Amino acid sequence: MKGAMLSVGFIPLLDAAPLIVAQEMGFAAEEGIALDLVRAPSWSSLRDMLSFGRVEAAHMLSPVPVAAALGLGGTRAPLAAVSVLSMNGTVIGVSNALADRLRDGGHDFAFDDARAAGLALIRAATPTLRIGVPFPFSMHAELLYYWLSALGLPAPQNVDIRTVPPPLMAQAIEAGEIDAFCVGEPWGSIAVENGVGTLLLPGAAIWAFAPEKVLAVRSDWADAEPALLGRLIRAVWRAGRWLGDPASHTLGAELLSRPAYLNLPAEVLDRALNGRLVISPRGEQRETPGFIDFHAGAASFPWRSQAQWIGLQLASRNGLDRLASVQTAGGVFRSDLHRNALRQTGADLPAAVSKVEGANTPLHTDSGRLIPSQDAFFDGRIFDPSQIER
């Protein structure tokens, strides 16, 4: 029962927090495991490290395992998302030049209205809008496509969404290679700190409950090591619960700022954790409660319908069969494994495995409670996985 060491890969981002906290605050040790946290240089390398067994588990962009299951990009090793690590936590920012044009056009940078911000952005952007995202398969890209096409700017005709690694985002916007970006914290705040960008909108304003990162493992490993997997899921879930308590934010930011992890000032990490972002080099501040969530609203629960929404977007854009893709995608988010692992912990999980995304429907839990759910899309549309047309 003792001393099992698990290699877990991560990318230096705020939302790697549950993995780092699980190790540093002893939640892993409580489960009789130790996490060997391996910092990866890029998402593609991390995905390969997981596929080829260099690590047992990984911090992963939620669309990556879905894309792999649909045969898009990279490797084909079947991956399973066994927990959602974080909800939201991304931010859209613009270059200072574009920020000036937006202000000249009368935009108020209120930081909470996706429709107003999107329409202002479309008016100010000429002739095409170049936006950097961390990876082709990312919630960042999905949110941008959803947001801009709903407002009448369909990709790829007028939007050029290109890949820029997060640590290079500030540099790319300074060099004029992109006009805007969507990136996970703290990299938006770093662009503001460097005086090269202004934040326009939190990702949560587009989809209030978007699964951002997942805990991914190889499906064959999940089958072969159910006991170890259970310990890992429980340790990470307790870390997420700890992070969900506002009293943990200061210490959390300090842990993450260590050289082996993010190696960035705790003061900058703290902003997103507390939902208090500095949005411009001139120091304007915006309150965004729920900017990132690790626990509230059963955040860790991997809904099949979340994976199905991602699958539908990927299928539509890449010309795949929509119905078949949605079915395949649903099997990637393993609510069954998540529930099994947390059975004895007192976690009150949703009783269903799928929901209508965007409907704000309260969730029935295993214990018969009703918990509120805020998962609306900015344009009020809903996604019902049982109503997919080919």
Partner 1 sequence: MGHRLSVIVVENDRDRALLIVDSLRAAGDFDIHVIAGAAGLGRRVKALSPDVVLIDISNPSRDMLEELALATGPMERPVAMFVDRSDDGMTKAAIEAGVSAYVVDGLSPNRLKPILDAAIARFHMFQRMRTELMETKRALEERKVIDRAKGMLMKARGVDEEKAYALLRKAAMDQGKRVADVAQALVTAAGLLG
Which residues contribute to the site for partner 1 (CB under 8 A)? Answer: 41-45, 48, 51-52, 54, 72-76, 134-137, 162-165, 167-168, 172, 175, 177, 318
The verdict on whether omega for the bond into residue 259 sits within 30 degrees of 0, i.e. cis, is: no
Nearer Cβ to partner 1 (75/345):
75
The least CB distance from residue 42 to partner 1, in Å, is: 5
Residues 198 and 106: beta-carbon distance below 8 Å:
no
The least CB distance from residue 172 to partner 1, in Å, is: 8
The least CB distance from residue 52 to partner 1, in Å, is: 6
The least CB distance from residue 22 to partner 1, in Å, is: 25
What pairs with residue 364 in β-bridges?
370
Nearer Cβ to partner 1 (168/382):
168
Nearer Cβ to partner 1 (74/290):
74
The least CB distance from residue 17 to partner 1, in Å, is: 20
The residue with tokens 């990318």 is: 11
Nearer Cβ to partner 1 (113/177):
177
The least CB distance from residue 82 to partner 1, in Å, is: 23
Residues 22 and 235: beta-carbon distance below 8 Å:
yes
Nearer Cβ to partner 1 (141/214):
141
Rounded to the nearest 5 degrees, what angle is found at the Cα of 277, between the Cα atoms of 125 and 99?
Answer: 20
H-state helical runs in the chain: 17-24, 27-30, 43-51, 63-69, 96-104, 114-124, 139-150, 169-174, 187-193, 219-224, 226-243, 249-256, 266-274, 304-318, 322-330, 335-342
Residues 144 and 117: beta-carbon distance below 8 Å:
no
Look at residues 373, 305, 303 and name the one whose alpha carbon lies nearest to residue 336.
303
Look up residue 350 and give its two tokens.
Answer: 């949703």
Nearer Cβ to partner 1 (149/163):
163
